[in-house]
Structure 1
């Protein structure tokens, strides 16, 4: 059973700039650093066009999920800009920040840019206030949502470690052209729980993402029974103003431990939810890769 995303795999041609971003500026710690074992097998699991060479695992000690694995793939094509969510695929990672203004100033001082200024809005269907700003993470073609941490209202490592200023990854956002199918996949195949379903729109959301007036999208956010981070979020992609080619490789692979890998493999074997590798053996034990039809890439292993 799915119970959150344990490790967020980010394939890039050069891990250096993202190591600087996540370690130097966002306070992640290097847990492991070295060559990729079983490179050809990992390329198959992660659906990469070239074998990976380097792996840098970054974590927030005390967190329960939401770690980042930077995967160096020499020769990997440069990613297209994320832009607005107008095609299927990985779109954003979400983080909570204790002092967003200070963190954003430090990031801008190191050359990182934001889509627009911060916005404030209420989480749809609630009276929960959200302060959010979008970083343009160009190295892997993603947006990063920086959300104001609110004591007692938002679950993450910041509640356990007062010395931390930035959380673990608290959500991975995939755009999809089949939101009903993605919801059914989460509940019926992964055994997750969709705890939020609603529409994001209005002037604040338009400014946040650089959307045209009147644009918005429906979203579904899922956790497992233990409600731990990081969450899995699907958003309905917006029809593009002009056709955009699909991503040539997964920008994000969501790594998830599950209770019964064999049962999951059986549910995916028919191909109705995407292209599965089936269970393959690696130096770290059995793994299963999935390039889903919902814009999301996954790697699963036994809990």
Structure 2
């Protein structure tokens, strides 16, 4: 059963548009061990209008979470006429909603079983160390060109399903200005900056393919005390990046947006107006939109849409008043 009374500092769902719902559920539920919270077959007129689609353009939806977690979930949607994949042909440094992270237990076994099932990886498992924490990581080419990143931290077992997968500690988006995103996430959404690193130097340039003097600014936002439902933003310094955020619009396929359940939409909109007043037009990609109370897969709830300076779409769902 869907609960709206959850942590407003962690995203509830990441919206992923798919071509085949059965195949998507086979991946996220049967293989990764997520559970279906809500399934809505047929149209969702409320979301269709919100997304500027015609009635009947939404065919199927499912809200999924990892058992034992109520956030960091996946919102799958199938459109009548799916568009092109958001990340199709994108370079690693292009500006776009990019990746979904999945925590795993025994990454070697998870890699082997996925490879045996025919899934394609971008490389072998890598190892890196940050602030004394050793992380093992591998990137998989997911359906609809969504980059899926499997992670395992030494000495820090994450919460996972019975299948050994945990979806999703965080999602990743690339931006042209992480400081502008930081102001938006902290001052409007009230998120904590849980991590910040800047990587530079010849080794980083070689590994990532940056030009001399290039660098990588990486920040993670969410709740310092809750390690699911976080947003990681990455800025590639010293490179030219194509802005592909305009592609992340329904009915495109892939990673489209994130959804937060908040206590008071009016409060968030006031903070957004304050940020716009202090930072000007660049505070957000577009003005906030208050959609009012709509009947959707989330129930009869009030919704609003914000767009970060880079272009990441954030859907707000208001939690019911006590």
> What is the TM-score when the length of structure 1 is the normalising length?
0.84
Q: Which residue of 2 aligns with 1:87?
A: 94
Which digits, 9 at most, give the CA deviation of each residue in 1:72-118, with x for residues without a partner?
01212231437543222211111111011221222222322111111
Moved more, 231-240 or 64-73: 231-240
The answer on whether the counterparts of 1:87 and 1:239 sit within 8 Å (CA) in structure 2 is: no
Contact 2:142–2:148 (CA<8 Å) still a contact in 1?
A: yes
- Are residues 213 and 115 of structure 1, via their aligned partners in 2, closer, same or farther at CA, if it must alter by over 3 Å? farther
Per the TM alignment, residue 14 of structure 1 is displaced from its structure 2 partner at its CA by 2.6
Q: What is the CA distance between 1:245 and its match in structure 2?
A: 5.0
CA distance in 1, matches of 2:53, 2:96: 14
1:261 equivalent among 265, 280, 292: 265
Gaps of 5+ in 1: none
Question: Which one has a larger percent strand, Structure 1 or Structure 2?
Answer: 2
Matches of 1:206 and 1:296 in 2, distance apart?
29
After the TM superposition, which residues 122-161 of structure 1 pair with which residues of structure 2 at under 5 Å, given as runs?
A: 122-123=129-130, 126-139=131-144, 141-151=145-155, 153=156, 156-158=158-160
Distance in 2 between the 1:225 and 1:44 partners?
35
List per-residue Cα deviations over 1:209-268 (Å, max 9, x = no partner): x64576652111011364341111111146666857554224232111112211112333
Segment drifting more, 237-246 vs 4-13:
237-246
More moved, 20-29 vs 50-59: 50-59
TM-superposition CA deviations, 1:9-53 (whole Å, max 9, x none): 1122332332222122211122322225533x3145457799322
Report which stretch shifted further, 185-194 or 293-302.
293-302
Moved more, 232-241 or 169-178: 232-241
Distance (whole Å) between structure 2 residues aligned to residue 242 and residue 150 of structure 1: 33
Look up the match of 1:78.
Answer: 84
Partner of 2:23: 17
- Contact 2:306–2:313 (CA<8 Å) still a contact in 1? yes
The residue number in structure 2 matching 1:277 is: 289
Q: With structure 2 as the length reference, what TM-score do the two structures score?
A: 0.79
Structure 2: runs of 5 or more not aligned = 1-6, 250-254
Larger Rg: 2
Contact 2:293 2:303 in 1 (8 A): yes
Return closer, same or farther for 1:47/1:68 CA change in 2, 3 Å cut-off: farther
Name whichever of 228-237 and 76-85 sits farther off: 76-85
Residue 3 of structure 1 deviates from its aligned partner by: 1.2
More off after superposition, 78-87 vs 98-107: 78-87
Are the counterparts in 2 of residues 82 and 142 from structure 1 also a CA contact under 8 Å? no
